[in-house]
Each structure stands twice: as C-alpha cells, then as structure tokens.
Amino acid sequence: MLEVKNLHVTVDGQPILKGLDLSVGAGEVHAIMGPNGSGKSTLAYVLAGREGYEVTEGSILYQGRDLLDLSPEERARDGIFLAFQYPVEIPGVGTNSFLKTAVNAVRKHRGERELDAMEFMKLMREKRDLLGVNEEMLRRSLNVGFSGGEKKRTEILQMALLDPKLAVLDETDSGLDIDALKIVAEGVNALRSPDRAMVLITHYQRLLNYIVPDKVHVLAAGCIAKSGGKELAHQLEKEGYGDLAGKTGAAA
Amino acid sequence: MAASVDTAETVQSIAGDKYKYGFITDIESETAPRGLNEDTVRFISAKKNEPEWLLEWRLKAFRLWTGMTEPSWSKLGYPPIDYQDAYYYSAPKRKEAPKSLDEIDPELLKTYEKLGIPLREQEMLAGVAVDAVFDSVSVATTFRKKLEEKGIIFCSISEAVQNHPELVKKYLGSVVPYSDNFFATLNSAVFTDGSFVYVPEGVRCPMELSTYFRINAAQTGQFERTLIIADKGSYVSYLEGCTAPMRDENQLHAAVVELIALDDAEIKYSTVQNWYPGDENGKGGIYNFVTKRGACRGRNSQISWTQVETGSAITWKYPSCILQGENSVGKFYSIAITNNYQQADTGTKMIHIGKNTRSTIVSKGISAGKAQNTYRGLVKILPGAANARNHTQCDSLLIGDKCGAHTVPYIETRNRTARVEHEATTSKIDADQLFYCMQRGLSAEDSVSLIVNGFCKQVLQELPMEFAVEAQKLVGISLEGSVG
Amino acid sequence: MASETTTGLPYADRFAAIAATLPGQSVPWLRELREDSFARFAQLGLPTPRVEQWKYTNLHPLTKAGFEPAVVNGQGRGQIKALQPLSSLLPAEEPAHRLVFVNGLFRRDLSEIGALPEGVRLDGLGEALASEAESLAPMLGRAVRSGDNALLALNTALMADGCILRIGRGVSIDAPIHLVFVGAAEETALAFHPRNLIVAERDSRAVIFESHVASNGGVYWSNPVTEVTVEDGAEIQHYKFQDESLDAFHIALTEVEIGERGRYHSFVMTSGGRLSRQEIRAVLDGKGAECRLTGGYLARGKQHVDNTTEIVHAKPHTTSKEVYKGVLDEQGRAVFQGKIIVEKDAQKSDGHQLNRTLLLSDRAEIDTKPELEIYADDVKCSHGATAGELEESALFYLRARGIDETAARRMLIEAFLGDLGEDLASATVKAALQRRVSNWLAAI
C-alpha cells in the first residue's frame, strides 16, 4: 500500500526527515511514535502533499504509484486521508456543504455517481451516529467553535464519509479526555478493514490501548530509530524516548 | 522581568517631585548670532572645522529649506515658530579638549549629578558608556577604550567627521536625505552635534551605548544628528534619554537619527523622552520634531525602535524602518503619554520592500488632562515584498473627559502573499480595576499608575533594564494630577 | 460671473448655460443656492490626491472624458432598451414601489408606485423643484454636515432630478422602495447629478433599495447625493447595489442624520464602475441612535473602488458597527477609509469597525485607512483591518479532502464574503449578494 524509501524532507531549508523508511501493507495499522520535533507531523504533511515540505531525496510509492507528483486533492481522491492534528477553522464554510462537496469530489473520481442532497443526508446520518456527532454541529461553520474533542470526532466522521485506503491520523489523541478518546478510538476501530491501511502518529502510548497497532515505529531525529510489535509502545511508555533519541543523534 | 518593579512603591517614593529636572546651569556660551542664513550655516561648519563636502551638503539643505513650508497635516496646534528668532550654535566654552572627566567643567558635572546620571558613577556601576551632549557639543565620552578594543567607534558626530570621514560621507543622509522633510532639512543645514556609532562586522557590542541629551542655553534650538551603522553580523543596543530644564519660552528641537543595519546585523534603539512638557496651563515646554529612520539594508537584518514619550509640549516623531533586505525585521514599540496641554502625534512607518520582511507595531497611547494624543502610522507593502508580514496593535487609554486620543493608520498593500493585520482599541481606564486597587488601599493616583503600567507592559518589557525602571517611574509622574 | 471660471472640469465651466435649463430657475433662493454652490465648487476645484480625503483616489480621468449634461431643457438624453433585466435586484414578483431614473432623470412612464400609506410622499425631485420648490426648502441640505465638499457643491449646483421620500410620523411602509438608476450613455459621455431626499419622521420605518445599472455600457458619470434624515425612533434600511458600466464613473455621497433611538442600516455592494467612490457620512445625533454600515466590493481589470465613511458619535449612548469586505483580482484596486469620531459629550458610545480584503493577484492593491478620533473618555471603540491572500492552511485542508484548488478557492472566497450577509435583515438582499458574488467568481 505505502512504500516510503530513504525519505529526506526539508522545511524552510531545515532538514527534518533524514532518510526515513516505512512500509505499510493493506489492512495493517502502524503506529509512529516519537518525541516532539522528531518529524512526525512532517511525515503526515508530506504524505498529504502540503506545500513547503520539500522532498530532497527518496521516494514515496502509494499503491505502486509515485505519490510525489500528485496534488493534495488528487491524493485525497485516490484514498489518502489525513486526520489533522489541528483541524483548520474555516468561518463561513458550512460543515455540511463542505462534506457534501468533498464526498462528491471523491465519488466522482472513483467513477461513482454524485450524491444528491437527500442521499447525502442519509449517508451522513448513518456515519454521524457512529461518532456521536450531533446535527447542530454540522450546521455550524467548519470546525468553528468546536471543542477539541468535537474537532477530532468530526475528523473521524470525515474519514468515515470519504472511505479512504490509507488513513494518516496525526496526534488524534492530543487534547482529548478519556471519554472523548474512547469515542474516537471506537470510530477508528470500526473503520479498520482488510483493504484499508492506517498510520497512527502519536506521542503517547495511551491511544494504543484503544487502537491496537500491528507494528510500532519510533521516529527520532528524522529517521525510524526502532521498529517492533505493540509491546514496543509499552516499553517506550516505561523507558521514555531519551535513549533512542540519543542513539540516533549519535549515529547521525 | 525587565519591567516588573513594584510600581506603586516607586511612584510613592518620587511623588511630589514635579519636575525635578527643572533648573538652568549657568555656563558662558560661545554662540552664533541669532537668526538663520547661509552665514549661520558657514559659521557652524567652520566652527567644527568641517570638510568642504559637508559644508556644501549643509548649504544644499539650507537652500532647499528656505523654499519649504512647515508640514501642517498632523493634529498638532502650536503658535508659528520664528526660525529667525533663535540661536543655532552654542558651545560650552573651554580652553582645550578635555583629556579626562577631571578636566570637564565642574558646573556640567554637577548638572548631571542633579539629573541623577553622574558620569563616573555610571562608568563604574552601570557599565554604560555615555556620550553626553550638553547643548550642542559633546563634552565627554567614556568607555571609548573598551569599545575601541572591539573596533567599535562611539563618538560625537563632529569627531567622526574629523576621524572617520569616509564612513560619515558614505552613510550620512543615506537613510534620511537632506531633502526629506522640513525639519530634517533644517537639521541637515544646521546640525551641531550628536552621536556616531560604527560596529564592525561580526562584533557584538558588549554594553548598552547611551546618550543623555540636555537642552540648556536659552533659545538654543537643538539639532542633533545621530548616525549608527551596524556592519554585517553585528549587534548594538543604543539608549537615548532626555531631560531638560524648566523654561518659559518654547524650545525647538529637531533631531535626525539614521540607522543602518547590514546583513544579519541588529540595532536596538531605545528612547526615554521626558523633556519639559510645559506647566499645568500649557505654558512652556519643548517642541520636539524628530526624524528617526532605520534602513534594514542587509538580509536578515533587524531594527527595533522602543520609545517612551512622556515629555515635550509637542511631539512629532515617527521612527521608521525601511525593510529592504530579504527576511529583515522592523519593530516599533511605543508608549506616548500626554497630560495637561501636551500634544503628541507619533507613530511609525514600516516600508516593506524585500521578500519575507516582517514588522511589528505595538503602540500604547495614554491621554489625560486636556492633552491630545495621536498615533499615526504607515504600513506599506510594495509589490516585491512577497510573504511580508505586519501586525499592528494600537491601544489608547483616556483618563478624564477633556482629552483626546486618535488613531490614524495608513495601510497600503500591493502584494497578494503579504499578510497585514491591524487592530486598534480606545477605551477609558477601567473603573472596576480602579475600584479594585483602591479597595485594597491604593490611592487613586497610585492605582492609575499601576493600571497604566500594566497597560504599557508589552512595551516596557522591550526596554533594557537600565531604562525600564526609569520609564515606569515616568509613567507615574507624567500622569500626576490627572485623577481625583 | 461664475460661468467664466475654470474648474478643471470643462463641462462644469458651462454652468451658466446648463443651469438656465434646470428646474426651479425662476425660484430666487434656489437659483442663488445653485450659483453659490457652483462658486464654491469653482473655488475648491475637483479634489486632487493632495486633499487628504482623496489621497488614494484620483479624479483626474473625469477632466478628460468630455462630459455633456445628461439633461437638456428638462429632456433626458439617452435611450434604454428594456428595463426588466436591468432592475433584477428585486424579483419581479416581489411587491415594491419602483422609481426608475434614466441618466438621472425620473421616468414616470417606467416607474410603478403602488398604493402608499397615508402620510407618505414619494415622487421625483425635478417636478417638485420646478413647481413647488418652497416645500423642499426645509428638506434640501437638511442632513448635510459636510463642510468643504466640491462634488456635493457641484451636485447642488446641477441637480436636475432624484427622489423625494418623506415618511410621516409613525408610518411603516411594508413594501420596499426601489430606486433604479439606469445609466445609458450614447456616443457622448454624459454626466448627471441625482439628488435624493429621504426623511423618516418620528417612529416611521422604510426599506429602500437602490440599484445603479447600465443599459448599454459606455462612459458616463453619476454623481448622486442622498440625504437621509432618520428622526427619533425611526428606522431606515438602505441597500445599494452598484453595478454600473465598467467604463462608468460613480462618485456617490450619502449624508445621514440619526435622531434619538433612530436606526440606520446601510449595505453597499460595489461590483461595477471603472472608478467609483461611495462616501457615507453619518451623524448619530440623538441618545441611543444606532448606525450600521456594511459593505462588499469586488474589483478586477483596472477597476478602482473607494469606500469612505465617517461616523460621528455626537450624543451619548450611541452605537455604530461597520464591516467592509472585498476581493480584488487582476489590477483591481480598492480604498477603504473609515473614520469614527466620538465627540466630547458622547459618553458611553460604542464604535466598531472592520475592513478585510482578499488579494487574488500580484497586481491588486488595497489602501486602508481606518481612523479613530476620540474626544470622550467613557467609550469603547475599535477598528481592525487585514489584507492578504487566502489562508494557506484552509486551502490545504479543503484540498486534503479531495476538493480541487479552484473549487476550494471559490468556497473560501464565498465564505469570506458570505458573512456580510449575516448582518442583513433582508433575505432578498442576501440572495442578491450571493448572486453577485457567484457571478463574479464564475469569471475567475
């Protein structure tokens, strides 16, 4: 599904990722953990195609195709979904109409029929209940006035609606209390499927109690410093990143 | 932490000071005849033994000035100034140039003591080098040696003309041309002295450079000229502080300050201006028409202006930044306090020319009594200034119902990728805050001082330590009599 | 004699000849008023950028356009084809009292004034000036507070027609009053100076729509002056859509006086004209008076759009709220000058102002001058201004959800302007605003 090889990325001339390798197969859930500033969010943005993140070396193959030539919207339509760490507030753009536009853009790309307002509302109602997002929220401007938890839930709702192949969840657990975290995790778990890959980016192990990953990677100083099974997360929880971050630092 | 002194206490300790700097030193002056003509200009230039090119430059300015009219666009009102009824040059008399402080006229030293800035004490305790301008000629420069070791030139501009003519010739008038505006042109014709600083490439100036200005001899306009050049990768922080003796006639002051920052250089210029503001009835006080401008010529250069303006009957002053170099940064932090009949029309210009240039403007205006306080500013984004950023915050506080506070920003944006944000508020001093302080036992005056200091905090904390304390005191003193 | 004066505006220099054909010349005070006003204009001349209030808008092109008077001997020049598509602001099925002006001249034949409540006078100004000028004396100039205003003086000197609306005490007019100004230039460039006099007496209410449209493009200059008096407790909603020809000049002045508890809400949407300026000067002249100014502007090509406002809080407990937003593409240039004055005795006043502009092109320009002039201490006043392009993070967010860049931009621009509609009480106007915006965006 996703093959990242020797990825080097600079932001404003500063190298952030320095030779990252990552391979995620369909149906797999990978967790990427790491200290602040290790390049986790950069990886998320590069996958989604944000401007200003310059790939200086290496490659990203997605479903066997070179991802780097595609615009953000082409990637999204091809099934890459980024759940933002900080979902952007957009005053004046209604959440409902935004979602309908997005869903139809993706459907059209897949050669599916665009949904009319009634059909969309029906789809929306199904997915909404899953995440406990109420109708009133969807009438508001996109993410405007949403609490931290509401924003994250809406991100997962969008993921459910857009039905991606590869979902990248950037710090989806940050700023959530335990109840909100459970709701979000349930939503994510419900979306696990054999033909969908997920990359969970997180600082803490806490999220992984609820969404159990197949593999855990530690990102430090711009590369994957260590990979392992879910037990690695527990080890990190106990021992911290200090050692790993130091090791790569010395190696580099 | 710079500005976190217990204000109430400080204000208490100096309450009743009124204008403690109001006295006149009696020194014989060697003075040019009253009035202004080409001969005056030649007299000044000859007195200072200037090279021909500088005399020519002065004369060009003078000739231009005779055809100029005084600007009238500000919100200031004052009786017409008779430029022919003033002396343009006066120097403290002395036999030879002093070799050390001991040779300096004891009268002068006493004056500085009364001002609370004894040179020697400062030399020893504060580690601040002082280029003291007494009237129009520098009389002492300290710490020069230490600076010389680093290759830093810090002297009066007259000395610089003699000793570093190539630098003066290269940079004088390069930021504020002699034709710039009525007051700057006048200054170019008749400037008598001021400071000169050159910080060589890669040097970080180890101390705050500082000048205390005084206006003394009767009817002597002061026309300082300051030129500061920070060469590549250098850093300098310059402090300018002013007090003036009490006098009935209005005194004109028209200084020009030019700053030049080359690649990766940074200049911090801080001013505390507490010249005589006139009395409670608006009699007397200094007219302060100043042109201050900095050019961020080099990449990644930075110039910041921080000013606390509490004095003068009239303040007309717009310290500005020309952001030419890519990634250069301009900052303007200002507190302007007007009380009684004071009038201030002050602000800044940020001219964005280069890519990724950034500017920040924070202006706090406080108006009390029958004063008028205007912020006037220009933010100009030229078409080449891709990704330029400006943020402006202008807050005005009114104390009493007979004063005025005005905000006149001009924002001109000609680049799509630029982002310009301007916010301004005007309100009165918060009654709840006032009540809260007074309920805790503070007097009305102390409460106001405390609240106003809080209102100004964002600017005060930009000041170097040495100034922050004095500035806080000034905030309190300036507002005396504005409540109760 | 004034007619020999050179004003820099060749057309105006023929004042004497033009004035002789204007309505009300037989009424001595009116004739004198015109003559004095022209003398004032001649003295001031067309404002140049050296005049502070005209710093960013240069009227020099007016001197070169070779204007002719649009009205000769009471007869209007210029023909229009069909009215209906022009006055599309209000849907045909919506009841309204419609007054149509062609090149500034009232056309009763094209107008439809329905049954009005008792105490309402709604009519053309030209006939009234000619036949019953006395009744206008107390209305003319009533709301004007401008001192030296050259174009106001020129309007007073040359006004030929316009609208009179007087709403009697306590009367509410349910259906909106729609003033349709059609510019119809022929081969010659025409100039006209409509004068509208609107008085809402105590506790009355009315909704006024104003459309400025072009019948067949061309160069013309409309110089309307509108005086609005909102007496104690009265309320006026005033919606204006300026869709002039892209070769036209539109320099409008609206002067408003608002009494105790009076409310005035203006909305001005500008998308037409080559060079246009809408100046609104409102005086909150009674306790509890309220003024809201909302505006949108869209400019492309070489359009120049100037919105200049001045709100004077003259009495205590008055409030004003002002929001202007616009989008500029190509070499479009906009000017926003907004001044809030709080006079000495106007304690407990609130004044808030916001101006935001989106720049879509590297050659667009916005010049903003928000100004506060405060002489009372117990006030809350603020202004804010922003300029720049669309937020990159918002754009990326939408694209990351599969929406293509063009659609995402359009969505964000519509959202940016859309919240202007939130301030509007009229659904008709909201819909009209949306139409303007989406039509304009369709051409990007």
- Taking only the tens place, the pLDDT of each residue in B80-113 is 888 888 778 766 554 444 455 565 556 555 545 5
Q: Quick check: B411 contacting C, CB < 8 Å?
A: yes
CB contact under 8 A, C403 and A50: no
* C388 contacts in chain B (CB < 8 Å): 413, 416-420
Would you say the C-alpha torsion B121, B126, B127, B129 has a positive or negative sign? negative
Rounded distance, CA B265 to CA C203, Å? 66
CB contact under 8 A, A72 and C399: yes
CB contact under 8 A, C414 and A92: yes
Do the domain assignments include residue C366?
A: no
Whether B173 shows a pLDDT value over 90: the answer reads yes
Q: What is the pLDDT of residue B5?
A: 34
CB contact under 8 A, C393 and A88: yes
- Tell me the nearest-neighbour CA distance from B423 into chain C, angstroms: 4
Rounded distance, CA B409 to CA B392, Å? 9
Q: What is the pLDDT of residue B132?
A: 52
Q: What is the pLDDT of residue B323?
A: 98
Nearest residue on chain C to B72, alpha-carbon basis:
C52
Q: Is residue B226 within 8 Å of residue B60, measured between CB atoms?
A: no
Calculate the average pLDDT of chain B.
80
- Strand extents, DSSP E, chain A: 2-11, 14-24, 29-33, 53-62, 65-66, 80-83, 90-94, 141-142, 166-170, 197-202, 215-220, 223-228
- CA angle, residues B425, B267, B221, in degrees to nearest 5: 80
CA distances, C160 to each of C41, C133, C165, C244 (Å): 17, 13, 16, 20
Would you say the C-alpha torsion A173, A176, A177, A181 has a positive or negative sign? negative
CB contact under 8 A, C382 and B404: no
Q: Is residue A222 within 8 Å of residue A20, measured between CB atoms?
A: yes
- Name the residue among A51, A91, A158 with its Cβ closest to that of C401: A158
For residue A197, the enclosing domain spans 2-251
B/C interface, count of CB pairs below 8 Å: 119
Q: Quick check: A49 contacting C, CB < 8 Å?
A: yes
Nearest Cα to Cα of residue B294 among B197, B417, B395: B197
Nearest residue on chain A to C407, alpha-carbon basis:
A101
What angle, 0 to 180 degrees and rounded to 10, lies between the N-to-C axes of helices B7-14 and B444-455? 130
Rounded distance, CA C221 to CA C78, Å? 13
Do the domain assignments include residue C33?
A: yes
* B411 contacts in chain C (CB < 8 Å): 366-370, 385, 387
Task: Say whether B470 sits in a helix, a strand or coil.
Answer: helix
Give the residue numbers in C contacting A (CB under 8 Å), as ranges.
Answer: 391-394, 396-405, 407-408, 411-412, 414-416, 418-419
Rounded distance, CA B352 to CA B115, Å? 40
Each residue's pLDDT tens digit, B263-306: 999 999 999 887 888 888 888 888 899 999 999 999 999 999 99
CA distances, A93 to each of A83, A88, A140, C102 (Å): 19, 11, 8, 40
Average pLDDT over residues B316-340: 95
Nearest Cα to Cα of residue C144 among C193, C192, C198: C198
Highest mean pLDDT out of B63-77, B107-121, B135-149? B63-77
Helices assigned H by DSSP within C180-270: none
C6 by Cβ neighbours in 10 Å (0-12 / 13-18 / 19+) ranks as: exposed
Distance of CA B128 to the CA centre of its chain: 18
The CATH number that applies at residue A157 is 3.40.50.300
- Strand extents, DSSP E, C223-328: 225-230, 235-243, 249-258, 263-270, 275-284, 290-299, 304-313, 319-328
State the best of C374, C382, C409 to mutate against chain B, taking most chain B CBs within 10 Å.
Answer: C374
Each residue's pLDDT tens digit, B329-373: 999 999 999 999 999 999 999 999 999 999 999 999 999 999 999
The two structure tokens encoding residue B103 = 């040779």
Q: Could you give the percent of chain B with pLDDT greater than 90?
A: 47
For residue C219, the enclosing domain spans 6-285
Q: What is the pLDDT of residue B16?
A: 36
Q: Which of residues 380-399 of B touch C (CB under 8 A)?
A: 381, 383, 396, 398-399
CB contact under 8 A, A88 and C405: no
Nearest residue on chain C to B372, alpha-carbon basis:
C375
Rounded distance, CA B302 to CA B277, Å? 32
- Strand extents, DSSP E, B46-125: 90-92
pLDDT greater at residue B178 or residue B439: B178
A110, A112, A113, A116: CA torsion to nearest 10: -70
Rounded distance, CA C313 to CA C290, Å? 9
Complete DSSP assignment for B407-454: EEEEEEE--TT-EEEEEEEEEEPPHHHHHHHHHTT--HHHHHHHHHHH
Q: Quick check: A140 contacting C, CB < 8 Å?
A: no
Rounded distance, CA B305 to CA B316, Å? 15
Q: Quick check: A73 contacting C, CB < 8 Å?
A: yes
Q: Assign B207 a pLDDT band (cuts: 50, 70, 90).
A: confident
User: Which residue type is seen at C83?
Assistant: L
Q: Is residue C178 within 8 Å of residue C90, measured between CB atoms?
A: yes
Nearest residue on chain C to A74, alpha-carbon basis:
C402
Do the domain assignments include residue C208?
A: yes
Rounded distance, CA B410 to CA B378, Å? 5
Nearest residue on chain B to C52, alpha-carbon basis:
B73
Q: What is the pLDDT of residue C195?
A: 97
Average pLDDT over residues B10-30: 45
Would you say the C-alpha torsion C294, A140, A117, C405 has a positive or negative sign? positive
* pLDDT, tens digit only, all 444 positions of chain C: 344 456 778 888 888 888 888 998 889 999 999 999 999 999 999 999 989 999 999 999 998 888 888 877 767 777 766 666 665 666 666 788 999 999 999 999 889 999 999 999 999 999 999 888 888 888 898 888 877 899 999 999 999 999 999 999 999 999 999 999 999 877 888 999 999 999 999 999 999 999 999 887 789 999 999 999 999 999 999 999 999 999 999 999 999 999 999 999 999 999 999 999 999 999 999 999 999 999 999 999 999 999 999 999 999 999 999 999 999 999 999 999 999 999 998 999 999 999 999 999 999 999 999 999 999 988 999 999 999 999 899 999 999 999 999 999 999 999 999 889 887 888 888 888 998 899 999 987
This complex has an ipTM of 0.87
Q: What is the pLDDT of residue B200?
A: 97
Cβ atoms < 10 Å from Cβ of C262: 28
CB contact under 8 A, C360 and B412: no
Cβ atoms < 10 Å from Cβ of A249: 11
pLDDT greater at residue C79 or residue B451: B451
CB contact under 8 A, B425 and C357: no
Highest mean pLDDT out of A45-59, A103-117, B182-196, C227-241? C227-241
Rounded distance, CA C96 to CA C46, Å? 37
CB contact under 8 A, C376 and B412: no
Helices (H) and strands (E) in chain C, counts: 9, 24
Q: Quick check: B416 contacting C, CB < 8 Å?
A: yes
Domain count, chain C: 2
* C52 contacts in chain B (CB < 8 Å): 73
Helix H or strand E encompassing C214: strand C205-214
State the best of B391, B416, B448 to mutate against chain C, taking most chain C CBs within 10 Å.
Answer: B416
Nearest Cα to Cα of residue B227 among B303, B309, B154, B316: B154
Among the three residues C232, C256, C285, which one is the final residue of a domain in this structure?
C285
Whole-angstrom distance between the N-terminal and C-terminal Cα of chain A? Answer: 29
Give the CA radius of gyration of chain B. 21
Q: What is the pLDDT of residue B107?
A: 55
Would you say the C-alpha torsion C126, C127, C129, C135 has a positive or negative sign? negative
* C368 contacts in chain B (CB < 8 Å): 409-413, 422
Whether B212 shows a pLDDT value over 70: the answer reads no
A91, A96, A97, A101: CA torsion to nearest 10: 120
pLDDT greater at residue B13 or residue A221: A221
Calculate the average pLDDT of chain A.
88
Whether B463 shows a pLDDT value over 90: the answer reads no
Rounded distance, CA C155 to CA C133, Å? 17
- The reported pTM is 0.85
Domain spans in chain B, listed from the N-terminal domain onward:
2-478
Rounded distance, CA B42 to CA B58, Å? 9
Nearest Cα to Cα of residue A221 among A13, A20, A47: A20
CB contact under 8 A, B411 and C369: yes
The two structure tokens encoding residue A38 = 């290790």
- The DSSP symbol for B122 reads I
